[in-house]
């Protein structure tokens, strides 16, 4: 009897290993296909990739692909030492994207639009993700589709931020991001913005007054913490009442012709 029971357990274990391996290699194959299609656009004028194409690896653990050096899309540089993509990504399953050594976004006329010294986010897309063509994006946006940000952690200068939220597109197919955020270190950010000339002394004082009114203070450390929305809307990054950066408008390719760079 014991021998039959052990044989049954062994058979179930072998079946589980087989099923898991099948799922792993299927999801890795799907991700490799996506990567191949993405890198195939490297020959087009709107996308330049600086690193070598990654391959999906990590078996038997979570599938992982690592990008290096960065990319340029329509004149906007996304520079990073390393970007990791981890997850199965099947049926809207969560995927974690991280920049352990930071991310810098810039362009030729504005080299440093925003610099994050760390970024990690776990996302899911229940309705899938569209291809980056105007027709596909319009159809995706029209269905009310969105990317769910289940969790994110970022460091912008002195500000540490954690939270969750939603990423989608507005009617003009521009990014529309709403993040429910808990942040610390905003005092140093305001001071640095004033020192750089991005914020006037009066605006600094007004913003500091407004944020202090909303903040709670840790009685042991004295650290001020604030729950505040972080939004990208109308090509502007806003942290609460502060407009931090302004992004150029994105002009998407259509399936018949590339967008005109403006």
Report if residue 251 sits inside a domain. no
* Residue the block writes with tokens 């969750």: 164
What gap in Å lies between CA 82 and CA 167, rounded to an integer? 23
pTM of this structure: 0.76
DSSP readout, 161-205?
EEEEEEEEE-TTS-EEEEEEEEEE-HHHHHHHHHHTTSS-HHHHH
* Residue the block writes with tokens 């980056």: 132
Which two three-digit tokens encode residue 156? 């912008």
DSSP readout, 25-42?
HHHHHHHHHHHHHHHHGG
Report if residue 171 sits inside a domain. yes
- 43 has pLDDT over 60: no
User: Degrees (nearest 5) of the Cα angle 160, 166, 171?
Assistant: 125
Q: pLDDT tens-digit profile of 45-101?
A: 567 778 777 777 777 777 888 888 888 877 788 899 988 888 876 667 788 999 999
Give the residue numbers spanning the domain of 157.
Answer: 2-246
Instruction: Calculate the CA dihedral of residues 188, 190, 196, 198 and round it to 10 degrees.
Output: 160
Residue 169 confidence class, pLDDT cut points 50, 70, 90: very high
Report if residue 253 sits inside a domain. no
Report if residue 180 sits inside a domain. yes
Report if residue 183 sits inside a domain. yes
* Span 112-117, average pLDDT: 80
**What's the number of domains the chain is made of?**
1
- Do 61 and 86 touch, CB atoms closer than 8 A? no
Report if residue 261 sits inside a domain. no
Report if residue 98 sits inside a domain. yes
What gap in Å lies between CA 164 and CA 151, rounded to an integer? 5
Q: pLDDT tens-digit profile of 225-253?
A: 888 888 999 988 887 777 877 877 888 88
């Amino acid at each position: 009897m014991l021998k039959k029971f052990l044989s049954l357990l062994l058979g179930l274990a072998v079946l589980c290993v087989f099923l898991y391996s099948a799922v792993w290699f299927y999801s890795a194959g799907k991700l490799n296909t996506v990567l191949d299609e993405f890198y195939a656009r490297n020959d087009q004028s709107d996308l330049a990739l600086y690193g070598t194409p990654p391959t999906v690896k990590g078996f038997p653990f979570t599938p992982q692909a690592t990008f290096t050096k960065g990319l340029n899309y329509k004149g906007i540089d996304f520079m990073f030492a390393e970007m990791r993509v981890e997850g199965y990504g099947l049926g809207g399953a969560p995927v974690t994207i991280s920049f352990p050594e930071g991310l810098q976004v810039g362009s030729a006329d504005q080299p440093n639009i925003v610099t994050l010294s760390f970024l990690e986010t776990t996302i899911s897309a229940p309705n899938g993700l569209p291809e980056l063509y105007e027709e596909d994006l319009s159809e995706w946006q029209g269905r009310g589709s969105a990317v769910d940000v289940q969790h994110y952690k970022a460091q912008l200068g002195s500000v540490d931020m954690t939270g969750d939220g939603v990423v989608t597109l507005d009617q003009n197919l521009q990014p529309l991001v709403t993040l429910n955020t808990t942040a610390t270190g905003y005092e140093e950010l305001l001071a640095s913005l004033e020192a750089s000339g991005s914020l006037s002394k009066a605006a600094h004082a007004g913003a500091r007054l407004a944020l202090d009114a909303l903040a709670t203070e840790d009685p042991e450390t004295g650290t001020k913490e604030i729950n505040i929305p972080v939004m990208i809307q109308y090509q502007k990054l806003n942290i609460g009442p502060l407009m931090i950066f302004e992004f150029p408008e994105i002009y998407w390719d259509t399936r018949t012709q590339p967008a005109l760079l403006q």
